[in-house]
């Protein structure tokens, strides 16, 4: 179990460092900022959620995130998305996960 937590810790840290490589600097101010960011971004809660969802299917994970994260979603312009056939939906968040969560919540209904 400890080994799994370390692995998840490493994966989540790696995702953070990919998006903000400057956080790897050996600077006391950066270290303090990183600790603060982990608090603000609810890092411990993220680890708990990742443990809870680790063995779930993609559909189960998206359903959980819709229920727990995207619960106050307001959608406008859904009439522009065709009910049948292909559609290209362009999202603008660099990592895409936020877009995926909210698009799933909006389009599956």
Dump pLDDT digits (tens) for 39-82: 998 888 888 888 899 899 998 998 898 889 888 888 899 899 99
What does the domain layout of the chain look like in residue ranges?
1-55, 56-109
Is the pTM of the predicted complex or chain greater than 0.75?
Answer: no
- φ, ψ of residue 46 to 5 degrees: the values are -60, -40
Whether residue 44 contacts residue 50, with contact meaning beta carbons closer than 8 Å, is answered with: no
Whether residue 104 contacts residue 62, with contact meaning beta carbons closer than 8 Å, is answered with: yes
Beta carbons within 10 angstroms of residue 105's beta carbon: 19
Our measurement of the distance from residue 49's CA atom to the centroid of its chain's CA atoms, rounded to an integer in Å, reads 11
């Amino acid at each position: 179990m400890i080994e799994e937590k370390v692995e998840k810790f490493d994966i989540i840290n790696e995702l953070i460092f990919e998006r903000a490589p400057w956080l790897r600097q050996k600077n006391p101010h950066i270290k303090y900022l990183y600790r603060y960011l982990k608090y603000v971004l609810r890092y411990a809660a993220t680890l708990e959620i990742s443990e809870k969802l680790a063995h779930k299917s993609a559909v189960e994970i998206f359903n959980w995130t819709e229920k727990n994260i995207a619960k106050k979603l307001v959608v406008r312009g859904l009439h522009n998305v065709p009910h049948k056939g292909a559609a290209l939906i362009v999202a603008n968040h660099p990592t895409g996960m936020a877009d995926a969560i909210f698009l799933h919540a909006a389009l599956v209904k």
